[in-house]
Structure 1
Amino acid sequence: MGRLAGKIALVTGATKSIGLAIAQEFSKQGACVIITGRMPKEEGLKKAKTIGAADYLCLDVTQEEDWQQVHAHLEKHYQKLDILVNNAGIDTAPGSKTPQDIESISLKDWRAVLAVNLDGLFLGCKAMLPLLKQSDNASIINLGSRSGRVGVPSNIAYGASKAASDNVTKTLALHCAKKGYKIRCNEIVPAAILTDMWDQEFGQDEYREQRIAQYSQSIPLRRMGTAEEVAKMAVFLASDESSYVTGAPFLIDGGIMASAASYGSTPLNKESPLEPNITVTKEQSSLIANTLFQPPLVQVKEKSQQDAAPGLING
């Protein structure tokens, strides 16, 4: 019997990346999993079938009406909800080509990011709470980010939205405890997880693996994490094994936040066995610098790069 046997789970933004991995692991552990996303119904149902999920629902997390429809569907077919994973999120407004620092970002782009990452979180918790209250041991799992715990100069909206997610998690956990609801609420805080959000930074050329390897030298565990490792953390928080855990952040970052890239650390290009003159774009170097809290540690060379369309970073 799986660790989530008999539980009903809803995972948002679960058609790719971390969300997909969580849904798949939940299914392996015996949960009845409903995934959501923005792709057409037929395509989403095919995706659900490939990972063993029971159903797929079209959901724009920024729309209250969509959440009401999801609630009605779950109430009709399942009568309760045991696990809610608020995974859907974006790092940049869809279609935006504008830098996301405080001097460059538009109010429109700011609102677009917060609409998905914060409004979507609020609407999801509010809409699903009545169904979660029908469970004997419910769990809400929010996907945060290291960017919500440190300053990220290049992306103020994303960092702000994830900082807010941390407080929503704690506040909701205390609310449910005060009310006597059998609902726990925790947050997974990933960093340096190798998903498709890194494609723009590491590129797809012959230097990709070298960039990943060199970047990994800055991580205490000397490697990047996987979506599957995040999923296993989610299984623990969703299961009855974590019945005394609520209002807590769970870092899964290879030790990055523990080390905080202290100024006494050995520079990456002195520690790495790789050639330090690996070709990177200015954008790639900037992201790596922000991640390490240090100046760029790899030599920057001029290189053209097409703007990549922003996508879901969590699912």
Structure 2
Amino acid sequence: MKFLKVLLTLLIIYPLFFASSISANTISPAINRVRLAQGQRSIASLDFQNSQNMDLEIVATPYAYNPKTDEISSDKEDIFLRVDTDTFNVKRDEKINIKYEIIPISNLSNGTYFNIIALTPVMENQDIQINASISQLIILDIVDTNNDVKGIVTTDYSTNIQLVNRGIPFLTPLRLKYSITNASNYVLTPQGRIDVFNEKNTYKPTYIYVNKEEQHLYPEEVLEDNIQINSWHISDIFTKRIVLAQITNGLDSNSQSIEVEIRSYTIEIAIILTLLLLSVILSKYVIQKKTKEKENIPTGNKQKKKKQINRVKKSSG
């Protein structure tokens, strides 16, 4: 979704009065992702197609790009691209190939970095405006020299599963919350699955898929989501449940396993049964006590009480 936003930002934000000269032109590929080991450099290229009914003069300019804020910068410290020839003449209906060099900045840490090459038309007044450009996004992944063959490898991310609410069997759902923190310099696309089952496997597990939208996780960002599980099985009352997660970072084949145990409800059941038993015992004791008190009342006292009752009745009559 973020890359789609990038493309929309880079390809269609320009004034209407430039539409006749640049709107139908194309650039390919729109995104170029490159992996380089530290100290390496690479040659890449893009194709520009002039679909207008006139010749164009275009300028190729590299910029730094921040995908989190969509900000474009000309700060040289953040630009790792170099275009030897910055001005090109393109005839109508002509396609040209523009080469550029990817030169990582010295002492650049392992991670993912973003630049763009903006192709901007030079108008008759010789003004050059970036908002009239179409651009290619270059994504650079810097890896260790030892990982150049293996690809991008990182373990600098963490997954946590929190038990929010155990729920009440057959009444309220189980609630969980997972969070994935990107502690690396790479852009991750975490994915995986969370299984919820009981330790005796008496029923089919419940599966929850993580980050189905394939949301990108940038450095120092946290991906969080809440999970609600409504299904219950009678065995959940007496058997503890297991939450098992297998999470990958979207860059390598390594995965993280996280396991959380949810205790059964035997303690609660024992407490309820104990309270019920105590209530029964207490009620029985009270009833027996009252019965004994009635049996222990002397006969004379009973007769006196009867006479008092009769007198009251006569006086009232």
TM-score (norm 1): 0.23
Radius of gyration: which is bigger? Answer: 2
Whose RCO is larger (CA < 8 A, sep 6+)? 1
TM-score (norm 2): 0.23
Determine which structure has the larger helix proportion and give its number. Answer: 1
